[in-house]
Amino acid sequence: MYDVALLIERALNPLDVDQIISLHEGLDDSVTYHVLLPVESSASLMAASMGAIGGQMMPLTEPSLIDEVQDEIVRSGQEELDATAELFAAKDALVTTQLTEDDPVDALAELVTSTSAAEAIILTQSHVVQEFFHVDWTSRAKRRLHVPTLHLLEHVPFSAQR
């Protein structure tokens, strides 16, 4: 068994899945893709939103609002994971999925360890500033993980990635 840990920023599309699978064609072992999608916690989102509107924290009149927001975040994230898993399944690929509210690189490191992944692939949109300062997910993962780590731009053909 050859395990690959995937950290994604949003649902993959058919191009992404085709490209990922093509990287492992010809392996003698069967490949299992372990897909990890980070989601924000509603509490941190609300705190950031309050900071953006002036830093005044007002008491919530409905405490259940945070729970409702979190339920929606998790539901949306799970829908993205399910759609991604369906694309892998349509290609007869083995896949597991997981949501996390933890730091994405910490969660990826835990996933690599728990699955004994042979490699990690991180799919994101381009984050020029973070990449320049080497604080993006891939740079952080390469410093932390002890497996080959590849960064791919999501929804972009290999030929257009440099």
Number of domains observed in the structure of the chain: 1
Instruction: Report the pLDDT value the prediction gives residue 43, as an integer from 0 to 100.
Output: 53
The pLDDT mean for the chain works out to 87
How far is residue 157's CA from residue 155's CA, in Å, rounded to a whole number? 7
User: pLDDT tens digits, residue range 89-116?
Assistant: 999 999 999 999 999 999 999 999 999 9
Q: How far is CA 96 from CA 6, 16, 65, 86, 123, in A?
A: 10, 16, 31, 11, 16
Q: Are 151 and 141 in contact (CB under 8 A)?
A: no
Q: How far is CA 12 from CA 20, 74, 100, in A?
A: 10, 17, 17
Which of 90, 86, 80, 92 lies closest to 36, judged by CA?
80
Structural domain boundaries enclosing 37: 2-52+63-160
How far is residue 3's CA from residue 120's CA, in Å, rounded to a whole number? 9
- Quick check: is 105 in a domain? yes
Q: How confident is the model at residue 63 (pLDDT cuts 50, 70, 90)?
A: low
Instruction: Report the pLDDT value the prediction gives residue 133, as an integer from 0 to 100.
Output: 73
Q: What is the mean pLDDT of residues 8-33?
A: 96
- Quick check: is 11 in a domain? yes
- Which CATH number is 48's domain given? 3.40.50.620
Q: Assess whether pLDDT exceeds 60 at residue 40.
A: yes
Q: Which residue has the higher pLDDT, 69 or 15?
A: 15
